[in-house]
Structure 1
Amino acid sequence: MVIIETFKNGVKTIKVNRPWKKNAFNMEVYKTLTTILNKDANNDKIAVTLLTAVGDYFSSGNDMSTSMQDPDIAMKAVEDMVEAFINYPKLLICIVNGTAIGIGATLVTLCDIVYASDRAVFDTPFLKLGLCVEGTSSFSYPFILGRSVASEVLFLNRKLTAQEACNYGLVSRVIPHSELDEFIKDLHKYGTLSVDNIKRNKAAIMENFKKIYSDCNKREFEVLKECINSEDFSIAVQKFLMRKSKL
Structure 2
Amino acid sequence: MTDAIRVETSDYIRTIRFNRPDKKNAITRPMYTAMAEALEDANANREVRVVVLAGSEGVFTAGNDLVDFIEAPPHIGGGDMPPVERFMRALMDCEKPVIAAVDGLAIGIGTTLLLHCDLAYASDRAVFKTPFVDLALAPEFGSSQILPGLVGRAVAGELLLLGESWDAAKAMSRHLVADVFPAGRLEEEVTHRARTLAAKAPGAVRAAKALMTRPGEPLVERIVREGGIFADLLRSEEFKEAVTAFMERRKPDFSKFG
TM over 0.5: yes
1:241 matched residue in structure 2: none
Aligned-partner SS, 1:12: strand
Which aligned runs of 4 or more in structure 1 are off by greater than 6 angstroms? none
What is the correspondence of 1:56-205 to structure 2 with a 5 Å cutoff?
Answer: 56-72=58-74, 76-190=82-196, 191-205=198-212
Q: Is the 1:9–1:188 Cα contact (8 Å) retained in structure 2? A: no
Q: Is the 1:49–1:92 Cα contact (8 Å) retained in structure 2? A: yes
TM-score of the two chains, using structure 1 as the length reference:
0.80
Q: Which structure has the larger Rg over C-alpha atoms?
A: 2
The residue type paired with residue 133 of structure 2 is: L
Q: Is the 1:99–1:121 Cα contact (8 Å) retained in structure 2? A: yes
Aligned length: 209
CA distance in 1, matches of 2:104, 2:141: 19
Structure having the higher helix fraction is 1
The residue type paired with residue 102 of structure 2 is: V
Corresponding residue to 1:207 among 199, 209, 214: 214
Task: Note the residue ranges of structure 1 that are not aligned, 5 or more in a row.
Answer: 210-247
Instruction: Pick which of 97-106 and 70-79 moved more.
Output: 70-79
Q: Is the 1:47–1:193 Cα contact (8 Å) retained in structure 2? A: no
Shift of residue 76, structure 1, vs aligned partner: 2.0
The residue type paired with residue 18 of structure 1 is: R
Change (3 A) 1:178 1:102: same
CA distance in 2, matches of 1:181, 1:64: 28
CA distance in 2, matches of 1:72, 1:122: 23
CA distance in 1, matches of 2:194, 2:155: 34
**Bigger relative contact order, structure 1 or 2 (CA pairs below 8 A, ≥6 apart):** 1
CA distance in 2, matches of 1:39, 1:32: 11
What is the correspondence of 1:29-44 to structure 2 with a 5 Å cutoff?
Answer: 29-44=31-46
Shift of residue 205, structure 1, vs aligned partner: 1.6
Task: Note the residue ranges of structure 2 that are not aligned, 5 or more in a row.
Answer: 217-258
Aligned-partner SS, 1:54: coil
Shift of residue 35, structure 1, vs aligned partner: 1.0
Deviations 1:133-178 (A, max 9, x none): 1132111211111100101211111111111010011110001112
The residue type paired with residue 27 of structure 1 is: R
Shift of residue 38, structure 1, vs aligned partner: 1.1
Shift of residue 188, structure 1, vs aligned partner: 4.3
Deviations 1:6-33 (A, max 9, x none): 1111111111101011001110111111
Identity percentage of aligned residues: 34
Instruction: Compute the RMSD of aligned alpha carbons.
Output: 1.6
Corresponding residue to 1:2 among 1, 4, 23: 4
TM-score of the two chains, using structure 2 as the length reference:
0.77
The residue type paired with residue 128 of structure 1 is: D
Q: Is the 2:121–2:186 Cα contact (8 Å) retained in structure 1? A: no
CA distance in 1, matches of 2:37, 2:169: 33
Q: Is the 2:51–2:96 Cα contact (8 Å) retained in structure 1? A: yes
